Amino acid sequence: MSASELPADHAELMDGVYRWQRHIYDLTRKYYLLGRDQMIFGLDVPANGRVLELGCGTGRNIALAARRYPDARLYGLDISAEMLETASKAIGRDGLSGRVVLARGDATDFDAKTLFGIERFDRIFVSYSLSMIPGWEKTVSAALAALAPGGSLHVVDFGQQEGLPNWFRRFLRGWLKKFHVTPRESLREVLESESRRTGASFCFGALYRGYAWLAVVKIAHSYLPSMGEVAPKARVGVKCQAPRPGATRRPSPSRGG
C-alpha cells in the first residue's frame, strides 16, 4: 500500500494525536509503556539480521535495537507522518541513518518489497501499537507473512491488568481512551490462533501483574507462511519469560501442552 492509499481517517487521527505529543512522547511514555526494553533485549537478532518495527513512532525502540544489535539492519513503519518526522531526526542525531530505513505505511496492509526493497525479515516487533490500530488482527497476519523462515514476531502491549485492583483497571482504561488506546482482550487468543495457522511456536508472558502482555511467535525454519494458508501441525503453549535488560533468556516449552 502506497502513502497515497493509506486509510485517511486513521492517518489523520494519528497525526492529530501526535502533532504536539511527539515532542514529549518519549519523556512521558517511559513511565507506563512497560516491557519495551525486555522485548528488545529478547529479540536475539541473528548476525546481519533484518529487523522491522511496525508502528515505530518516534524511533525510540529502533534506536535501542540498533545499539543492542550493532550488525543488524533496522526498518520502521508508521502511519503517522508527524511521528516519522520525529523518528527521522532522532535516528540522524544518533548517527544511525546508515542502518535504519523508515517508511510511511499501514501496518495492517503493507508491501515490504515496495517500501523497503526486501520481502522478509528475521525479526518483527510491535510495541504498544496493536492497541491503537483498527483491524489490528490484520497486522498480526501481515507481520507473520513478512517473516523469513526461522523468524519471529515479538509483541508487547497493554494486558488486561488481571492481577491489579479493579479501580486501577478502570482508571487506566478511562485514561487510555483519551488517546484512542484500547487494550486488546483477545490478543493472546489471536496470536495463538495465528501460531496454529502458520505452524509456529508460541510463547506468552504477563508482566507486572498483567499490566502488560509479552508474546513471541516463532516461525519454523522449514515453513514459510503465506496469507490464508493453514499449516498441518502447530506447536503452541510455550511459556514465555521476559528477559531482563542485559540478559537474554530463551522461552522453554511448557509441560503438558
Question: Per residue in 76-133, pLDDT tens?
Answer: 999 988 889 999 999 999 999 999 999 999 999 999 999 999 999 999 999 999 999 9
Identify the domain containing residue 35 by its residue range. Answer: 3-249
**Hunting for cell 511514555 — which residue is that?**
29
**165 belongs to a structural domain:** yes
Judge whether 82 lies within some domain: yes
Query: The cell 502506497 sits on which residue?
Result: 2
256 belongs to a structural domain: no
Whether 38 maps to a domain, the answer reads yes
139 within a domain of the structure (yes/no) = yes
Is residue 254, in this structure, part of any structural domain at all? no
Q: What is the CATH number of the domain that holds 103?
A: 3.40.50.150
Reported as a single tens digit per residue, the pLDDT across 128-164 is 999 999 999 999 999 999 999 999 999 999 999 999 9
Tally of domains in the chain? 1
The predicted model gives 171-183 an average pLDDT of 90
Predicted structure pTM score: 0.79
Neighbours of 47 (CB within 10 A): 8
- In the beta sheet, which residues pair with residue 77? 54, 103
